[in-house]
Structure 1
């Protein structure tokens, strides 16, 4: 055969400079710089001015360290949503913010003092606060650049900071609204207290970890029992895992419906001898404390008490070869009500004073037989149930435990000692148990009780419940009428609640009128608000917004005067929170009040009140009074944090929630589903991922995950994200190449399209509706904000419908048909439509790549893909008949490809173009060339059974490589190619 000419130069191959290799880590910073130079965010605000607004209010992270994967996941998801709302044509501003007050920052400054062995309390308050402000400001700057590197678009030049003077003034203004409506009180209640940080904590500042504690059984001798005289001389047994509360005990609680027994304890010996106790054993203090002692305990819990007694006996035996055993004999039974009026001695009553007071038995509905002994010792300083029950009987807290967890110096027992969270101090061999044992009051003790216990999530130290004077916002007090403007929403709430709105009732109504995503998350916050205690808003710290109140020294009432409050707010506007600590308080009070009559409150506001007030100075402050956010979005822990504090703050001051909808996402775990931890070495650093792979890869991971639950990230997961990204990038590369010289003159109307092109536009219209259901809340879709569905649909369309199907079939048309051919023009028209749709759809997910793609085709430095709006997709393109027909055709095409593959593997044929196929199934013949669809030489349908493939005996065209009957020898031209070249 003679040499054939090379027709490669005559084929219309795609032409593009768009690289297959992304190089995102190197390209993205340059794209960021361009966005900043052109003021992308500011110009977008100008272009969307006057449009329907969508406000996603940013929950403020703490400014105290580099961002972690949780930050990255949260910010990227917010950015995807904001960008998608802008794509819909809405004005979607994004104002990032930071929480700058409170322990996260203060603790870091204290750490620096501790390293220098200096005492923070010896530093002037103003100097300390200035250091806190500088520290927060430093990390705001660091985190800002890190968030920007993620591709997060927002008002980075004017973010909100809770430490800005105008913010601090607004926070105080919001607090004073609570004061004016009677929604503040100061009271002594047990609150969660950190002895390490020396402050009260909110529930959201606490995390639970498993620990091992000391459990003890303590005997209180009964000295009076009017309803059951036989109890006198017996010992009521209590069980506790907080031995340090025994020095503050003031009463005992019983369950009225519980059946109790009076039991006798005797001891026996099991050894090789005759079973009698030796004289030495009888003199053992433990033996003397227990032998033949009468105890009172709930019937159901006798076996548990016996087990604890025997464990203790074995542990304390002076002769290991001898096994001591407690024998419990029931002498009589009583009902819980028989304990009414009974009185006991504290085990340390010999100390006199506080410990000599009688310990009354009080009926407690909370007493159960789930664990312990069925009797509960009451320390009103250190438990909510204890406090409430004792208060009802006129028993008040004694404030024996100081801020640092030590007993106060003048306390009769263990004064000046502690700390109460020190395991050694409260152990079975520590001073508490030792003294109780010596007094004959300790029945059993062991250091082996495993349970979950609250810790400060900042210092990681154990906390205690401690009664201190604090400021509270009540959950169940009626809000003073006429103070808060009544909107229609609140009027409806008042009508339902009857006797005036309470904060709890208002918040619960607001929950029901909010859209929760996912829907199940409503149950979490509803249960938390239903059961939460009053909100303790005071902290004994230095860095934050003060509770700017004056309390009358005689009446104990705080001053409510709008003129005074207005002066306070103005002072804060001028100098921030520092204005309070260095204020001329007489000037703030004005001529109508004498400062000598008032106490100046210097407690700091709970930072959750700060962040809970941000809607007032960010959303309302920037967009108008009464405006609320369309969406709050944070992790699931914020149901007890920011979601709830914002809800309570707005419910108390506006009678409604500050948001229309709330999205909850899960946490980022390592590749094996474990919590990330430096100690485990499994932390995935987002900054490292960005440096190595680029932000768009991380963003693909975020958008692809089912983030309503906890999600995993690791090398394998990121490799999957990279692969998905690569395939989408290659789709864009093909589109750019195939459209390199496309002009409007080439465009064909829909009515002149071949059936395959009309089918692809049908699929595009379906995709468009699916994607819009995810982003547009007006669609009222159950899939709203489920971007994993959005991303999967987009990527599947690009990979399966386009690259593996449409592009594959039409590459012959693109490469070899004449440029004026109607089929080629139709194909390129659809490609142009696809390009403009896909680059928009992808822009919220991979903003850097979308910008690169757009600039590659339209290199106008004044424009950006992010100025574009949702593509115009004609609903008339939808055609269910075409969908049914082509779904069947694609299935048959797949079957043919599967039948061809073995011949290709065995190199019988090199390409499906060389195959002749017969198949038993019929194929629709109207408007369809199935050989072209299946990319084979020829195909006969309705012939024989199954699918039969054999090499074609036709010859290959030297230009298009198709095997056709008119080609007489390999390398010659087919009719089409001959016509194209001859034109």
Structure 2
């Protein structure tokens, strides 16, 4: 719109009703956002919402606690922003949406940091009193909780930041201990000895959730086990096994086979003199793998000399038996359903102390007494193991030790090695130290998940596993649904829960044991002792367990002190975080149980979702959540995993510093969080561009609504059809937004709102109605209707977007509704009348919009060819073949819809060369120039310009000027 005039007696610019706003086009988010944070803090927004929420349906997102160790990474930002979307949207939908942030403060990473500090000073942690070490760990966690709290707040995350939950708070430690003692009392806790994931570097057992898989180069060996007892046909033959863990051979107690596999006897007929395989060797191999084995052994020729026959009951000799009587025992062949003929030899060497399949096989065959204890906590062989004593599998830095090579050398000396090699494969590593782990048999405390519990909470099953699987299927909703399948399969197949860790910084296993001479262990189950422990932890924290005299204090006079030993292991930190539902939901006045929703990354199916499920099913009989939402991981722009070494990491602090938190939040809203997301400089530039387009739409509304009052309002039935169509779109979108927020479909919500703002509003309605807004008289019905509808659009669009872009929507809101107590975050999304919906009107206007596309396409071509400068210079002839559509267009001021000065609808057949669009048949446009003079006020070219009191304007503008 221009303001130049041909009437020198008046400046027509002063007669236009142009938008007026101080809302800046440039956001300046990095500088302005801290002002809004301070304002929300001064207003006590979160607390005020709680104070005024009486009678609302409570909604609680329970925060999966991040670890208090280091600055936030982009995954933290994604996680917390998604949580904030949920908390804010549920509040604005009319619920009492509560959010208490929390932190996981115990565990190995913090203790490891303190140990590193000790080592740098030449001091061992074993020299430090345990509670002094724990105090150092507590201070370390407190430091990082403070830093992370401010980093999360800077992202615009709302919540009870003044009263978060910390797993190291005294009350939390008391509750965690009390939750553990419930397992003591219900009989599911037991002391067992079985192989567990063990970190030689950190010298502790690990849960599956603490293990990640990386490529690792391993030795591969093919080893001969001589048949010592079996059918005559097998005399002199050897069973060949293949393994990637040579260090487990000294602990071998069996060889597994599968009866479904075809096995044969293979005789070496030719081999080089220096080969480990010798001519005449008879080897027992799976038929599908025989050629591969002979190739690895560099055998020049061989022949199959017979079938293996039944293998059950055959006894083998240990390959090292000839070197030392330590291995002078028979090695049984056992049927194992885990044996395959995909790779290897078709036989699996089993060391029940160093593998779960191996262990379960020995349990099944009643051979648990054959477990070995040959490997110590640092992965070195114990002193009683010949040849290998003191040799480690991995050293204290996680590098390969000397054990594997030493074992291989001894197998060569014994004549038992057939072949060797190296292979790269996926191998378990500690996600803390990043060092390889091993399976190691150690005494640990377990919770039996298949033991029936007589606790009166059997509605969903008698055992923890049954309750968990029932909860997954019947009680919990999953976003995405694949999360259900993932957790179900994990819990369906998981072994008993290992609770104990051989560390210091955590909540101890608060129980006492009595050891009988026969090796059996009795666990003390006394409610009075438990009550004393919990009471002490409430006031002193878990440090009370490690103080001198703790045993005597807690046992009191009820039990002979000399009979009972205090357990000094600490709980797996997943038990800590799995117990948070008890003290962060059940025990807090602002908590409800179960939680409305848990939201975390996909790794938490084996982590927090998993441990919370097991813990709650053991103590409350069901899942602690009604819904689980899972997000993927963040990758760089090329889909690569982020790594400091690759230099492709994106720091949330850097994004906020450059663009502002709302741009980072907008990136989250534009992604499908249920899968892995990409982020990087180019993606953020695109996000910032989307933000600018949206901001300009909001800025235009603020300007166009300047001075709007209730006196201007027009009832819907009195409005032009175009405004009633916009009301229909609002009502339609209201359903999309509410349903989307409840379904956690933030991408769908934002896409719908962005499309509405940039296409329905900016490119369509605003474009058409700017003439009415600028040029119609203030009291004109059409202009009043536009402003009435725009006010309704503003109220909804700003509140719909407030959970996603809290800083910007606050700025927009205050630009229109300034005031010391004003905040968009203190209001709800307004209800939208259902009678605004008008499907028939919507269908009509969708047809109008299609026809408009053909006209605007034709005029755009005219502009490109320089035949017109603006669409108002045109008066196109529009040929419409459909009589019904032609009648529709004639009734909607189609020239205004197309922003032309005039327009003719024609039933005649379109001439050759008329403009058409392939996807909109039956409409053709012939552009012609408008006749008349240009109105100096509205710029339309009309025949009546020059015939009024103000000679430079049209009739409509003359009336608007004269009033």
State the TM-score bracket (shorter-chain normalisation): over 0.9
* Among candidates 287, 293, 304, match of residue 292 of structure 2: 304
SS of 2:152's equivalent in the other structure is helix
Kindly report which structure 2 residues correspond to 1:777-926, keeping only aligned pairs within 5 A, or say none: 784-921=743-880, 922-925=886-889
Secondary structure, counterpart of 2:134 in structure 1? helix
In the alignment, which of 900, 904, 914 is matched to residue 940 of structure 1?
Answer: 904
Structure 2 CA distance for aligned equivalents of residues 255 and 741 of structure 1: 84
Q: Which of 253, 258, 264 is 1:261 aligned to?
A: 264
Alignment of 1:416 onto 2:390: yes
User: Aligned pair 1:173/2:178, yes or no?
Assistant: yes
Match of 2:543 in 1: 578
Residue 468 of structure 2 corresponds to residue 507 of structure 1: yes
Q: Give, in whole Å, the separation in 2 of the partners of 1:866 and 1:39.
A: 11
TM superposition shift of 1:183: 1.1
- The Cα of 1:425 is off from its aligned counterpart by 4.2
Q: How does 1:221-620 map to 2 (within 5 A)?
A: 221-225=226-230, 228-268=231-271, 282=273, 284=274, 286=275, 290-310=278-298, 325-335=299-309, 337=310, 339-391=311-363, 392-394=365-367, 395-420=369-394, 425=401, 430-447=405-422, 449-479=423-453, 481=454, 483=455, 485-486=456-457, 490-491=458-459, 493-494=460-461, 501-513=462-474, 514-554=476-516, 555-582=520-547, 583-620=549-586
Q: Find the aligned partners of 1:363 and 1:742 in 2 and give their Cα distance.
A: 84
TM-aligned CA deviation for residue 5 of structure 1: 4.2
Q: CA deviation at 1:623?
A: 4.1
Give the match's secondary structure for 1:622.
Answer: coil
Aligned-partner SS, 1:403: coil
Find the aligned partners of 2:688 and 2:512 in 1 and give their Cα distance. 60
Q: Could you tell me which residue of structure 2 aligns to residue 931 of structure 1?
A: 895
* 59 and 423 in structure 1: CA distance in 2 versus 1, 3 angstrom threshold: closer
1:244 touches 1:420 (CA, 8 Å); kept in 2?
Answer: no
Deviation per residue, 1:823-846 (Å, 9 max, x gap): 111111111111111111111010
- Size of the aligned set, in residue pairs, is 928
Post-superposition offset of 1:389: 2.5
Alignment of 1:11-26 (within 5 A): 11-26=16-31
Q: CA 1:62–1:130 in structure 2 vs 1: closer, same or farther (change >3 Å)?
A: same
Offset of residue 119 of structure 1:
2.3
* 1:982 and 2:962 matched: yes
Q: Which residue of 2 aligns with 1:276?
A: none
Residues 668 and 333 of structure 1: CA distance in aligned 2, closer, same or farther (over 3 Å): same
**Larger deviation, residues 114-123 vs 684-693:** 114-123
Map of 2:934 onto structure 1: 956
> In the TM superposition, what whole-angstrom CA distance separates every residue of 1:380-427 from its partner, at most 9, and x where no partner exists?
110112222234343422211111110012221300111347775469
Structure 2 unmatched runs, 5+ = 1-5, 881-885, 911-923
CA distance in 2, matches of 1:590, 1:610: 27
The superposition leaves residues 640-685 of structure 1 with CA deviations (integer Å, 9 ceiling, x where unpaired) of 1111111111111111110111111111111111111111111011
**TM-superposed deviation, 1:923:** 5.0
TM-superposed deviation, 1:260:
2.3
Q: Deviations over 1:701-756 (max 9, x none)?
A: 10111111111111221122111111111111111111111111111112211111
Contact 1:4 1:958 in 2 (8 A): no
Residue by residue, what CA displacement relative to the aligned partner does 1:437-483 show, whole Å, maximum 9, x if unpaired? 01111110112x2221111111111111111000111121111x2x2
TM-score, scaled relative to structure 2: 0.94
**Aligned mates of 1:591, 1:370 — CA distance in 2:** 62
Name the SS of the counterpart of 1:844 in structure 2.
coil
Distance 1:772 1:626, change over 3 A: closer
- Which 10-residue stretch deviates more, 886-895 or 230-239? 230-239
Q: Which range is displaced more, 964-973 or 188-197?
A: 964-973
Q: 1:158 is paired with a residue of what secondary structure?
A: coil
Paired residues of 2:380 and 2:403 also in contact (CA < 8 A):
no
C-alpha separation in 2, matches of 1:975 and 1:389? 96
Q: For residues 744 and 44 of structure 1, what CA distance do their matches in structure 2 show?
A: 28
Give SS of 2:958's match: helix
Show the counterpart of 1:705.
671
Return closer, same or farther for 1:624/1:826 CA change in 2, 3 Å cut-off.
closer
Whether the aligned pair in 1 keeps the contact of 2:393 and 2:403 (CA below 8 Å) is no
CA contact (8 A) 2:195 2:359 kept: yes
Contact 2:74 2:652 in 1 (8 A): yes
Query: Structure 1 residues 826 and 561, CA, compared in 2 at 3 Å: closer, same or farther?
Result: same
The equivalent residue for 1:719 is: 685
TM-score, length-scaled by structure 1: 0.92
Residues 772-809 of structure 1 show CA distances to partners (whole Å, capped at 9, x for unaligned) of 11123xxxxxxx11110000011111111111111111
CA–CA separation in structure 1 for the residues paired with 2:331 and 2:432: 38
Q: Deviations over 1:10-57 (max 9, x none)?
A: 111111100000000000011111111221111111122331111000
Structure 1 residue runs of 5 or longer lacking an equivalent are: 270-281, 311-324, 495-500, 777-783
Q: Answer yes or no: is 1:88 the counterpart of 2:97.
A: no
Residue 278 of structure 1: aligned partner: none
Note if contact 1:908-1:951 (Cα within 8 Å) is conserved in structure 2.
no
The CA distance in 2 between the partners of 1:456 and 1:743, in whole Å, is 64
Measured after TM superposition, the shift of residue 210 of structure 1 is 2.0
1:659-738 alignment to 2 at 5 Å?
Answer: 659-738=625-704
Measured after TM superposition, the shift of residue 872 of structure 1 is 2.3
**How far, CA to CA, are the matches of 2:426 and 2:651 in structure 1?**
29
User: How far did 1:120 drift?
Assistant: 2.3
Q: 1:374, CA displacement in angstroms?
A: 1.8
8 Å Cα contact 1:471-1:538 kept in structure 2: yes
Q: 1:918 to 1:389 in 2, by over 3 A?
A: same
CA distance in 2, matches of 1:832, 1:388: 69
Residues 470-527 of structure 1 show CA distances to partners (whole Å, capped at 9, x for unaligned) of 0111121111x2x2x43xxx42x34xxxxxx111111000001210011232111111
Looking at structure 1, the residues matched to 372 and 779 of structure 2 have their Cα atoms a distance apart, in angstroms, of 95
Is the 8 Å Cα contact of residues 197 and 206 (structure 2) preserved in structure 1? yes
8 Å contact kept, 2:247–2:393: no
- 1:6 maps to 11
Question: Aligned equivalents of 1:188 and 1:268: distance in 2?
Answer: 45
**Secondary structure, aligned partner of 1:899:** helix
Structure 2 Cα separation of the partners of residues 237 and 423 of structure 1? 29
Structure-1 separation of matches of 2:52 and 2:391: 67
Task: Please say which of residues 46-55 and 240-249 is displaced more in the overlay.
Answer: 46-55
* Distance (whole Å) between structure 2 residues aligned to residue 740 and residue 142 of structure 1: 42
CA–CA separation in structure 1 for the residues paired with 2:467 and 2:69: 34
Question: Residue 272 of structure 1 corresponds to which residue in structure 2?
Answer: none
Query: Is the partner of 1:12 in helix, strand or coil?
Result: coil
